[in-house]
Amino acid sequence: MKFLLLSAALNLQITYPTETVCSRALEEVAKFDKAAFCIPAGEDEFTEKHNKMFEKMFEMITKMRKELQ
């Protein structure tokens, strides 16, 4: 799950791939903004749908190439 580092003073809204990475970034940001914190960013349905669409498209292209050979 992706995590989001929020900092009100600096308006930082950067997404990190794991909680561990977010926590490391938080340690550095907290030196300047004690209000910063990490929360799960949630799932992005829009991106997931597009990824599935491209996966299906690549599968179709792969099948077509195999049939043409």
DSSP 24-64: HHHHHHHTT-TT-EEEE----HHHHHHHHHHHHHHHHHHHH
Q: Is the pTM of this model over 0.85?
A: no
Contact 31, 10 (CB under 8 A): no
The pLDDT, as a whole number, for residue 9 is 56
Contact 16, 27 (CB under 8 A): no
User: How far is it, in rounded angstroms, from Cα 46 to Cα 43?
Assistant: 9
The pLDDT, as a whole number, for residue 6 is 57
Q: How many domains does the chain have?
A: 1
Per-residue pLDDT of the chain (69 residues; tens, 9 = 90+): 455 555 555 555 667 788 888 888 888 888 887 888 887 776 666 677 777 888 888 899 999 999 988
- Residue 31's domain comprises 3-68
Residue 5 pairs in a beta bridge with 14, 38
The pLDDT, as a whole number, for residue 26 is 86
The pLDDT, as a whole number, for residue 13 is 61
